[in-house]
Amino acid sequence: MEYHKINQDDLKVLSSYISDPARFITNPATHWDYDQFNTVRAMPDLVIQPVTNEEVQKVVKYASDHNIPIVPRGNSTGWMGANLTVEGGISLDMIKMNKLLEYDPTSLTMTVQAGMRLIDIEKFLADKPFSYMPAPVMHWASIGGNVDTDAGGLKAVKYGVTREHIRQLKVVLTDGKLYKFGAKAVKSSSGYSLKDLIIGSEGTLVVVTEVTMRLYPTPRKSINALTQLWMMLLNQYQLF
């Protein structure tokens, strides 16, 4: 597919959607052309850092209407180059959408913007009796990136990966409209689970803007153990 190359007319319109010029970066530095692995490189033509759902909606709709490639980006802790703009276009850097929106101990949920880092979620919950369990190893990753990759961590064996802990998502589709999938309630049988289609889709279907997570009572004690499980499994299934 041949994409539209961003020109001055595009920049004029897109910049009108962003209230702070500092969040509209027309000459990106090397920070935006690689991820944690730092092997594949691809520099975007434009970096936009939204702070509201409305800003995301306007940018995504304009990019879709004008055939401009757009790639959502979290805190860039991935290893596969999935958040790189290999076709140029717009890098939609979500890291400034990092607000806590709701903490609801009654329903054991917490709602945050997609750019909030796991370490900040953990800090907020540090003096509370609840925890977000599937936090991956890289604690500076964003929750939106976790949703896009269905990330897991050391606790995934017991508690499962991200998918098992997401109750509700707010997302922006290419039509620029904001949608809500899932529910805060544990039981919700209102049709197909489009929330689960989005989780793990690597940002190819929607831009995730808000995440409602399931919380667990914090265990009184926890330990880490190193075992020879891999060799035990190999010996278990060895045929010859």
Q: Could you report the average pLDDT of every consecutive run of 10 residues in the chain (240 residues)?
A: 94 97 92 74 93 98 98 82 86 97 97 96 96 79 92 79 95 98 81 92 95 92 67 59
State the residue range of the domain holding 188. 100-217
In a domain, 2, yes or no: no
Q: Position 117: which residue type?
A: R
Q: Indicate the number of domains in the chain.
A: 2
Looking from the CA of 179 toward its CB, the CA atoms found within 13 Å total 16
Mean pLDDT of the chain: 89
Q: Specify whether 24 is located in the same domain as 85.
A: yes
Supply φ then ψ for residue 126, to 5 degrees: -60, -35
Q: Specify whether 122 is located in the same domain as 41.
A: no
Distance CA 102, CA 130 (A): 14
Domain stop point among 47, 69, 93: 93
pLDDT of residue 82: 76
Distance CA 122, CA 110 (A): 12
82 SS3 class:
coil
Q: Specify whether 121 is located in the same domain as 84.
A: no
CATH number for the domain spanning 200: value is 3.30.465.10
Domain stop point among 38, 62, 93: 93
Q: pTM of this prediction?
A: 0.88
* Total Cβ atoms within 10 A of residue 193: 13
